[in-house]
Amino acid sequence: MGPTDLILARPIVLLTLFALAILLFDFWLPKEKKWFNALLAFIGVCFSAVGVHQIQAFIGNTPGIVGMLGTMVVDRFAIYFFYLFLAGTAIAILMSVRYLETENENHGEYYALMLLSVAGMMCMASGFDIVLIFIGLELMAISTYVLVGFLRRDRRSNEAALKYLLLGAFSSGIFAYGLSLLYGLTGTTNLAGIHQQLLHRAFDPQYRPVAIIALVTTLTGLLFKIAAIPFHQWAPDAYEGAPTSITGFMSVAVKAAGWAMLLRILLGSPFQFCGLVSMRDVWVPLLVFVSIATMTGANFAALTQTNTKRLLAYSSIAHVGYMLLGMIALGTATSHDGFDDGFKGILIYLLVYTFMNLGAFAVITSLRHRNIAGDDLDDLNGLYSRAPVEAVLMLVFMLSLAGIPPLAGFWGKYFIFLSLIETKHYVLAALGVLYSVFGLYYYLKIANAMFMRQPEKGEEKLPVSLAMRVALGLTGLATVYIGIMPNRFIEMVNWALGIVQQSNVANLMH
Amino acid sequence: MQNHILSIILFTPLVGAILLLFVPKENKDAIRWIANIFALAGFLISLPLVPLFWEKVKSGDPAPFKFIEGTANNWIPSIGAGYVLGIDGISFLLIMLTTLLGWVSILSSWTAIENRVKEYYVWFLILQTGMLGVFMALDFFLFFVFWEAMLVPMYLLIGIWGGPRKLYAAIKFFLYTLAGSVLMLLGILFLYFHHHSVTQVYTFSLEAFYKTAPQIYTDYGPYAATLLFLSFFFAFAIKVPMFPFHTWLPDAHVEAPTAGSVILAGVLLKMGTYGFIRFSLPFFPDVLHNGSTRFWVMVLSVIAIIYGALVSLMQKDMKKLVAYSSVSHLGFCTLGIFALSPMGLSGSVLQQINHGISTGALFLIVGILYERRHTREISEYGGISNVMPIYATITMIMFLSSMGLPLLNGFVGEFTILGGTFLQKDIAGHPGWFWTAWAVPGVVLAAAYLLWLYQRVFFGTVTNPKNEKLHDLTPREVATFVPLLIMAFWIGLYPKPFFEILKQPVNNLVATVNRETPKAETTASVTGGTTAPSECAGCGLSAMPSPTAVKPATASATHPATHTAPTATTPAKGKN
Amino acid sequence: MLFLDHIYLIPLLPAFGAAFMFFFGRKLTKQTVSAVCVGVVVLAFLFACGAVLQYNVWAGANNHQPFQKIVYTWLGTDTGHLNFFKQDGSAANFQIDAGFLLDPLSAIWLLFVTGVGMLIHIYSIGYMAHEGGYYRFFGYLNLFMFSMLTLILANNYALMFVGWEGVGLCSYLLIGFYFHRKSASDAANKAFIVNRIGDAGFILGMFFIAWLMGSLRYVDVNAAARSGHFQIGDPLITAATLLLFVGACGKSAQLPLYVWLPDAMEGPTPVSALIHAATMVTAGVYMVARSNALFVLAPTSMKTVAIVGALTAIFAASIGLVQNDIKRVLAYSTVSQLGYMFLALGVGAFAAGVFHVFTHAFFKALLFLGAGSVIHAMSGEQDMRNMGDLRNRIPTTYWTMFIATLAIAGIPPFAGFFSKDEILWQSWATESVAYHLLWYIGYATAFMTAFYMFRLIYLTFWSKPRMSHDVEHHIHESPASMTMPLVVLAVMSLFAGFLGFPQSLARLVGIHGETNRFEAYLAPVFAKEAPVFAKEEPGQLAAGTKEEEKSSGTEYLLMFLSVGAAAFGWYMAGRSYREADKGYVEPINALSPPVYNTLLNKYYVDEGYDYVFTGRRKLGGVRLGAMGLGEASSWFDANVVDGAVNASGWLTRVVASLSSWWDKWIIDGVGVNGPAILARMLSYPARLLEWGLVQWYALVMTAGLVGFVFYYVYH
Amino acid sequence: MHAMTDISTLHYLVLGAALFLLGVIGVLTRRNVVIVLMSIELILNAVNLNLVAFSRYWQSIHGPSALHGQVFAIFVITDAAAEAAVGLGILIAFFRNKETVNVDEVNLLKW
């Protein structure tokens, strides 16, 4: 444990400490003071962010550094994801405050678990050793199981938690099995080492079957975490049953973590190929199948949903399908353009998705009050007349999810499809855009309900807490701002991926 | 030329919309006033453009695009998108049309809109900005952003203030048009990628694409180029709308509020034709000259002309009738465009303006009756000219202009289009007269359905007691028609300025698309006439000895992109 | 050169009147309205006279070339950028100028249009005195004058087309003047749409001309046509001329597009006189005469024109024989006379045709105005069966109309005799014998004309009164404003003919030198064809080499025969109708009732058109024609095109329900009910099957996993 | 004797695979949630078996310091325990509301 390791570990450690602190303080907090937990958690997130920033300063211009006996690599890629997780969590915390009061489940554990799961995510994003990745995964997963079931008195919540738990554990079992085979195949748990070994072993007919089984089982675990068809079925149930704030949290942070892990294991990092990248020829066809299945199934299923949360669950599955297209472009890229833009696409997608999807869930959360559950599509009817600001924001989020420029959501799709064009997957690209039109239909259903239908229950205004206002403001602002002025964010992603392509554009502007 | 007149025109409506946000929504009249003031301001501010642009036309400014603002890639350098505005004659006319119609239609909805007034005007002004942006953008990405962003307010206008089937119509409109434009997005991305692979430069600058896009035909072969052409074609054809893609139009029109229909017919449809002119033609000249693509496009245009007219002949709903008549009229526009002749193109652009004026007016006319009687069933009316003489007169004039009566605007456009098609010696393997002969019946049918409608609504005695009390036009309503009438007569009587304005862009375009274009000596007609020069200075279409007789015109007739304008006006001259 | 240089004022004066009515008419008194509207036309007439006089002087100095005045460029730009390739491959530049042209041809039209127009305006003051919409009526009339004058004075086909459509519009507005009457508005629509069909042909013809000649200006077109660049019978020129003739058929009511003219009588009578007798309907003749340089290059077209003209003449005349509505008789007579004119043009006797237009303008206007005066006197009654004995009650009307009848019947020395006789003679004199057939048709028509015209006179003015009593004692002579024009026109119909006094007769009475001033005056316009006629081989062209064999003998004979025919018609009419009060039988009905009914129902042409072309009548439940197509396409639109769109939407929803409900029916179906049934049969395997929700999910996952593996087992 | 000693890695792998499949089948077929949880444990144990066996194998190649597998196994065991604990906790909460531990009655949320 050198000083480097301390710096690298700092964000995670901070999060853990704050989680424990919250558990501790929670005892003394009277019921009406519980918001202090949220505050503490928020501060914790901020501290951790500062820690991340210190790492960023520390690595300077280098792509990143390896530490913790080589089990952990904190490169720009990881740092990008750290920021993503923290942003998502911060907003989720803001969303939760009043919601938990309404649900009368205001316990410190909630925030503690949130922070812990973020710690897990960080391990997944920066893990360079399958052991660490597995630990991080489990840490995140187990905390999330509990969070999903946090509304103890709500049967839907219990059930969602139970299902999520059973399936999650099952999938991580399969995942672990795959990892064990990988270890057996290569004799190391380090992704770089695995890559080295696989380079020849994966193509050696003697080992190939094992390699393929290992890959397939691992892939199952990965795809389960990002909820891609046919490993998606937990998502709608869990999303619907979970507390809305947690649904939002899961749909962005957990998913982002899943993606980080997936990229780590399948590609290693933008700076250094590790993991299973040498088996591209195996996993690309699978991903083609999965992505098409995901887009098709999710879009169709979302079409007739009547529960907003469930609808958004399916929509988020559909988005996974689009991102997988980027993965395919990555896997098949022969030129640098395709690879970069695919990678960029996925990262930007996760970024914008964090804001617009959280925003959407924030609106739904804000609908929750005494008499209305708020997650039924009819609860949105005539929302405009009750809460114009929320309605307009929701419209913005929906259009952004549908990928209408100039809103953030467009940018994810933009790079994905560009990369597909560059790698000559015209059919997949056409399929993707057509499905995104298709998706507009169910997003418009929400818009219709809000703007064009009359409210059943009176015209009473919605009370919206300050924290929620901040959350809505942040997400809405981000969605619009990234949409109109995406440049610095694209640059950010370029930085995260170490892409330098401004030069030739630069000489355009004399 | 670094003044920001275009930006000012572009964002005036948006400023109005933002201002409206701060007005309490109970205070309807204040909202109406502000909205109308800003709509009028939007129009007035665009007026100075006229003398400025005219002065450029007169001075023969060689730059293909004028008032260029911003440089390439200044918006999103990392992908090479720029906030670049600029106009040529074509977009200039369309912009003026947009500002005019925007004002007219906002004025027309003073009493028509009673509920949720605030939102209505906010969305309407936003829509205005979106449309203007489409016509101003010189950056393909910027264009696409405006193109799509503009769908949203239109969707809400139809969906919130629409008729009984508004939800269906609104969603149909949105999905249908979006489906087209996402395919276009792929096309754009392909051009973008291709431009990069050729020049190693990432940019969406239109002029850059003008250079590289035509090479696609040689680089990727006819098949790919045709597919690419189609990816654009669908987007524009749906917007126009051309024959098989037109079914969203009647629904949208019937359900939309009057002002919405005016804008929809007057401006939105023009975006499709504008897209053809601005992108499809200069990008894919080879696709048009080889293979059967152009043939089918022409066929679709002709079908649209006849078919639209026939369908509107049998409509029972006035608005539907007008909507289908738009299909027919836009058929003429596309016909003129794909004739690829100077006449055809000039006529087509002119006809787009005319259609905006006439059909816009027709929708206002229907709207006025609808406002009084809340029905658009033709059978509900009859003998209206007894109770509303002024209204009847204005309607008659607008019908005549719409059916293309000489000395009114409609004729100038149609005649030039038909002439341009006829006099093009070979269109997709058929002589021009072949196509014209198919299109001409549309002129007859136009008279048929419009006059029949007029007879059923205005002639005869008032049979329906509900119609006896109808009051004639209020001054405000008359005011909405006055500018349209003035324009109708102006274009009909003295279209020369419009042709002057269109001269340069059209010639550039034709020179780009056609390998060999006829060039008559500019001073030809002096020798051409048989009477004394004084009486015949520059008159008559006099025959020329040979096409090669002309050097002077060719200078301006080169391609916009290949043309190297002096200053920063052409952003995309990068060292590739 | 005051008048010539400002020739554009001639159309603009009435235009001003119309605009004035449009803006202020509502407020003005009838006196002001008539002052303004009639005033501008009178001015226009005087201006026209001045212009023509000046032109005659000017032309003498400039070897009779047409005078052109370009006001501004209308379509296109001065520098010209609308370039195109001519048919011969050379480039041309499309540019239409708002320019005016005066030459003998337009001069003649100019004079009688403004003149007759002026008279009819004056007449209308009295006629319309008691009608509503007074200012509207005069506004329309002025607008019509504007359009007609534009048509005449235009210096290119496109501008002529402006006037062409303009007069169509005005005739629409004026036919529909009594828009309360369904029949009126129907007739108006019919007129406009039928004209539009013709106009479509005109447009195409114009483009053909532009394509061939590279210009639409008469001077350029004629120059090109006479340049010898095109040989006679050039198919493209034939196409162009035939298309132009389609336009002429529409406007001048020739077969098969004549149907609108009889219905047009729904309009006020002055309108019928001005538009549908004297001026507008002759526009077609004007256009063909204007394009003579082209037509002589296209023998086929010439033949077509001649044949269509002759057929129309006899066809319409035959219908006219039995009509009972006084105005309809005149309407059919107009159609028939127009047929004569086209016959003349078709056989190459352009001057003769124009001459007939000229004379016809006077006596037909006179007839209509007289009929109007009769209707005025009969307080609206138009059926001749209810008239009679008017000659003593409204003598002025009677005598003027009688003169006009003599003129149209071709009794010498009235105007009609000279013009009609010239036409018949020319159609005979063309050497190809086939053309003698045309003469026979024309001859029969001449007889019919005399018959139905005198039938009209007898039924209306002779014998004892047959009208009801209250009508009877309202009968009164019309006011001076109405009778004065009648008198003037009567004088004209009496003497106008002498302008075209035939050479032969002149020699007979011992006058030498040019007596056919009319033809001489038109010579600069038409004479240029002579070389063309000379060039082509015999029998090819209708006109033939008529100049040579002008054997006075035949001419006298034919002249005598035609006069005889007229006289015989007169006699026959007198024999059948002089004692109409004692009850009379239509001679044709006596001969064969079916023929009579066919004629009475105008050969059932309107019905036929309604069945086949418009589709206003269903043919056994099936709707044909435009409306039929319309219905078909709207059905197609609603069910096929849009159907496809909606169907795809519907399909998506179905798939959506499936894919969102699949676990529903798997779980509830297989998972819950299925096991319950199975469990009863055999417990253990059922328990295997009996998975719950979560396990179904897990199973799917596993299936996916296994599927992956298999994918590679088989690859 | 000799036959006894050479139990190769392969045998462990087969045993592991068998355990894994048993676990999967258990997860798929048993009604009682507790048993399903136990089947998941079974899967994880299969993993552990693999890891240890492989670790032995690699030690025989890279020398005794190659302990990754066994370390990993320990982590997996811990994780399994944690999962079980949380699982049972959630199950109890569920049982409180629904009075059942049968997976096929966990069907409130569907389609």
Q: Which residue ranges of chain C lie beneath pLDDT 50?
A: 534, 536-549, 660, 662-692
Q: What is the pLDDT of residue B522?
A: 40
Q: What is the pLDDT of residue C208?
A: 92
- Give pLDDT tens digits for B498-544: 998 998 899 888 888 876 555 544 433 333 333 333 333 333 344 43
| φ and ψ at residue C71, rounded to 5 degrees | -90, -55
Measured CA to CA, the distance from residue B575 to residue B203 in angstroms comes to 13
Q: Tell me what percent of chain B is helix, strand and coil, each rounded to the nearest 5.
A: 70, 5, 25
CB proximity A375 to D under 8 Å: no
Average pLDDT over residues D14-39: 89
What is the CB neighbour count within 10 angstroms for residue C582? 8
> Do D103 and C688 lie within an 8 Å CB cutoff?
no
Asked whether the beta carbons of B64 and B323 are under 8 A apart, the reply is no
Chain D neighbours (≥3 Cβ pairs under 8 A) are A, C
- Please name the residue of chain C whose CA is at the shortest distance from the CA of residue B460: C180
C-alpha dist (Å) from residue B250 to A28, B112, C568: 67, 20, 65
Q: Which of A158, A190, A206, A234 to mutate to test the interface with D (most CBs of D within 10 A)?
A: A158
| φ and ψ at residue C230, rounded to 5 degrees | -105, 140
User: Which amino acid, residue B257?
Assistant: P
User: Which of A452, A487, A505 faces B166 most closely, judged by CB atoms?
Assistant: A452
**Residue A30 scores a pLDDT above 90:** no
User: Which of C73, C81, C92 faces B543 most closely, judged by CB atoms?
Assistant: C92
User: Which amino acid, residue A30?
Assistant: P
Poorest-pLDDT segment among A162-166, A461-465, B391-395: A461-465
Closest CA to C264 of C190, C375, C337, C370: C190
Where does residue C682 rank: exposed (0-12), middle (13-18), buried (19+ CB within 10 A)? exposed
Distance from CA of A230 to the nearest CA of C (A): 6
CB proximity D11 to A under 8 Å: no
User: Which of A161, A170, A172 faces D90 most closely, judged by CB atoms?
Assistant: A161
Distance from CA of B558 to the nearest CA of C (A): 14
Closest CA to C456 of C357, C349, C573: C573
Average pLDDT over residues A136-145: 95
Half-sphere exposure of A406 (CA within 13 A, CB side): 22
Asked whether the beta carbons of A416 and A326 are under 8 A apart, the reply is yes
Residues 6+ apart with CB under 8 A from B283: B191, B209, B210, B213, B214, B216, B229, B232
> What residues of chain A lie within 8 A of the CB of D96, using their CB?
152
More confident residue, A183 or C411: A183
Poorest-pLDDT segment among B96-100, B316-320, C229-233: C229-233
Distance from CA of A374 to the nearest CA of B (A): 23
Distance from CA of A507 to the nearest CA of B (A): 7
Specify the 3-state DSSP secondary structure of B507: helix
Average pLDDT over residues A473-491: 93
More confident residue, C688 or B121: B121
Q: What is the pLDDT of residue A32?
A: 82
DSSP 8-state assignment for residue A169: H
pLDDT category, A270, cuts 50, 70, 90? confident
> Do A131 and D68 lie within an 8 Å CB cutoff?
yes
Q: What is the pLDDT of residue C283?
A: 92
Measured CA to CA, the distance from residue C123 to residue A478 in angstroms comes to 80
Q: What is the pLDDT of residue C683?
A: 31
Measured CA to CA, the distance from residue A354 to residue A335 in angstroms comes to 29
pLDDT category, B155, cuts 50, 70, 90? very high
What is the CB neighbour count within 10 angstroms for residue B478? 14
DSSP 8-state assignment for residue A278: G
What is the CB neighbour count within 10 angstroms for residue C165? 28
Asked whether the beta carbons of B385 and C179 are under 8 A apart, the reply is yes
> E strand or H helix at C73, and its extent?
strand C67-75
DSSP 8-state assignment for residue A268: B
**Residue A90 scores a pLDDT above 90:** yes
Closest CA to B328 of B241, B423, B434: B241
Specify the 3-state DSSP secondary structure of B518: coil
- Please name the residue of chain C whose CA is at the shortest distance from the CA of residue B405: C165
CB proximity B462 to C under 8 Å: no
- Please name the residue of chain A whose CA is at the shortest distance from the CA of residue C659: A301
> Do A146 and D106 lie within an 8 Å CB cutoff?
no
Q: What is the pLDDT of residue B137?
A: 92
Buried b (16+ CB within 10 A) or exposed e, A44-77: bbebbbebbeebbebbeeebbbbbbeebbbbbbb
User: Which of A163, A174, A304 faces C660 most closely, judged by CB atoms?
Assistant: A304
Distance from CA of C635 to the nearest CA of B (A): 9
Q: What is the pTM of this model?
A: 0.88
Measured CA to CA, the distance from residue B287 to residue B216 in angstroms comes to 10
Measured CA to CA, the distance from residue B216 to residue B192 in angstroms comes to 11
Measured CA to CA, the distance from residue C463 to residue C386 in angstroms comes to 12
**Residue A257 scores a pLDDT above 90:** yes
Chain C neighbours (≥3 Cβ pairs under 8 A) are A, B, D
> E strand or H helix at C91, and its extent?
strand C91-93
CB proximity C99 to B under 8 Å: yes
> What residues of chain C lie within 8 A of the CB of B500, using their CB?
77
The two tokens of residue A230 are 């046919």
ipTM of the prediction: 0.86
> Do D72 and A189 lie within an 8 Å CB cutoff?
yes
Measured CA to CA, the distance from residue C268 to residue C61 in angstroms comes to 45
Q: What is the pLDDT of residue C532?
A: 52
> Do A440 and B174 lie within an 8 Å CB cutoff?
yes
- Please name the residue of chain C whose CA is at the shortest distance from the CA of residue D108: C693
Q: What is the DSSP string of B286-337?
A: HHHHSSSHHHHHHHHHHHHHHHHHHHHHT-SBHHHHHHHHHHHHHHHHHHHH
- Please name the residue of chain D whose CA is at the shortest distance from the CA of residue A305: D111
pLDDT category, A370, cuts 50, 70, 90? low
DSSP 8-state assignment for residue C71: E
> Do B171 and A444 lie within an 8 Å CB cutoff?
yes
CA dihedral C51, C53, C56, C61 (to 10 degrees): -90
Residue with tokens 């950028």, as numbered in its chain: C81
Asked whether the beta carbons of C370 and C482 are under 8 A apart, the reply is no
For chain A, the domains span 280-510
CB proximity C700 to A under 8 Å: yes
- Give pLDDT tens digits for B33-42: 988 998 899 8
Q: What is the pLDDT of residue C678?
A: 42
- Give pLDDT tens digits for B190-233: 999 999 888 888 889 888 888 888 888 888 888 989 999 999 99
> What residues of chain D lie within 8 A of the CB of A70, using their CB?
none
User: Which amino acid, residue B105?
Assistant: S
Where does residue D82 rank: exposed (0-12), middle (13-18), buried (19+ CB within 10 A)? middle
Chain B neighbours (≥3 Cβ pairs under 8 A) are A, C
Pairing of strands B66-69, A72-75: unpaired
> Do C656 and A285 lie within an 8 Å CB cutoff?
no
Q: What is the DSSP string of A358-382?
A: HHHHHHHHHH-BTTB---BGGGGTT
Of all residues in chain A, the percent with pLDDT exceeding 70 is 96
Specify the 3-state DSSP secondary structure of B25: coil
CA C548 to chain CA mean position, Å: 36
Asked whether the beta carbons of C314 and C444 are under 8 A apart, the reply is yes
CATH architecture type of domain D2-102: Orthogonal Bundle (1.10)
> Helix H segments across A268-335?
280-303, 308-332
Give the end-to-end CA distance of chain C in Å, rounded to a whole number: 98
> E strand or H helix at C184, and its extent?
helix C182-213
Residue with tokens 């010639």, as numbered in its chain: B507
Distance from CA of B16 to the nearest CA of C (A): 37
Residues 6+ apart with CB under 8 A from C299: C232, C233, C536, C540, C541, C542
Distance from CA of A152 to the nearest CA of D (A): 6
Give the end-to-end CA distance of chain A in Å, rounded to a whole number: 51
- Give pLDDT tens digits for B443-454: 988 998 999 999
> Do B149 and A404 lie within an 8 Å CB cutoff?
yes
Closest CA to C376 of C173, C38, C126, C33: C126
Distance from CA of C652 to the nearest CA of D (A): 17
CB proximity A216 to D under 8 Å: no
> What residues of chain C lie within 8 A of the CB of A311, using their CB?
none
- Please name the residue of chain D whose CA is at the shortest distance from the CA of residue A176: D47
> E strand or H helix at A67, and its extent?
strand A64-67
Distance from CA of A243 to the nearest CA of D (A): 14
> Do A300 and C701 lie within an 8 Å CB cutoff?
no
The two tokens of residue A374 are 């708020």
CB proximity A237 to D under 8 Å: yes
Measured CA to CA, the distance from residue B153 to residue C370 in angstroms comes to 65
> Helix H segments across B379-515?
384-387, 389-402, 409-422, 432-439, 441-458, 475-493, 496-513
